[in-house]
Structure 1
Amino acid sequence: MTTRAVITLPAAVKAGEPFEVRATVAHAMETGYRTSDEGARLPRDIVRRFECRLDGELVFAADLFAAISANPYLAFWVRASKSGELTFVWRGDRDFEHRETRPLAVA
């Protein structure tokens, strides 16, 4: 199964000024509360943690729970003083992990 993420951030930002980052990952999500047509409980399968790091330093993190929607969408603000690399990591049940990187140009 191929996981797809969509990450939106400005092409370039000014040093010290906050900018918005938007990120979503394709993940069906199953709460663990529903049952199959045969009556068996469907196992939980959710994204449980999201982290964004700038050159290895944590700049945003979120713990997610069963009430989160499928394909979880997150928007947050970051401030950077120098160019670097943003790393995005989604982790979840059933050993789910998806990682993406994006360059960040700071003027």
Structure 2
Amino acid sequence: MASGMRVQAKVKNDVTQVKALITHPMETGNRKDKKSGKVIPANFIEEVLCEHNGKAVMTAQWSGGISKNPYMAFKFKGGAKDEMVKVSWRDNLGKSASLDVKIK
């Protein structure tokens, strides 16, 4: 499933920079609905993983403290033009998504 993700990867001087924007509500479970007064259930990304050639190059453990529609950027050594990078995430409700992109 790739819906709701934008990822780009660029290499320069043997360092690959990955940028990702994930569409996700990132609810902490502490807010109340203004109309009903009921607590909005927690719904947040727990893990983000980036792989290059099948090897994990970045893993992040998140919680409800991350903002809605999170953006992240990181670099790793290696990677070459036209190789693939895969970014995937999983939330506390079991939903997940992943996207494979070519390094430019």
Structures share a fold, TM > 0.5? yes
CA apart distance, 1:59 = 0.2
Identity value in percent: 23
- Counting matched residue pairs gives 101
Task: State the superposition RMSD in angstroms.
Answer: 2.0
Q: Distance in 1 between matches of 2:53 and 2:89?
A: 17
Runs of 4+ in 1 over 6 A off after TM superposition: none
Q: AA paired with 1:3?
A: S
Unaligned runs of 5+ in 1: none
TM-score (norm 2): 0.83
Q: Distance in 2 between matches of 1:22 and 1:5?
A: 11
The residue correspondences of 1:1-107 to structure 2 (distance < 5 A) are: 3-10=3-10, 13-14=12-13, 17-36=14-33, 37-80=35-78, 84-104=83-103
Unaligned runs of 5+ in 2: none
Structure with the bigger RCO (C-alpha within 8 Å, sep 6+) is: 2
SS of the counterpart of 1:9?
Answer: strand
Q: C-alpha offsets along residues 29-50 of structure 1, whole Å, 9 cap, x if unaligned?
A: 2110012232322110011110
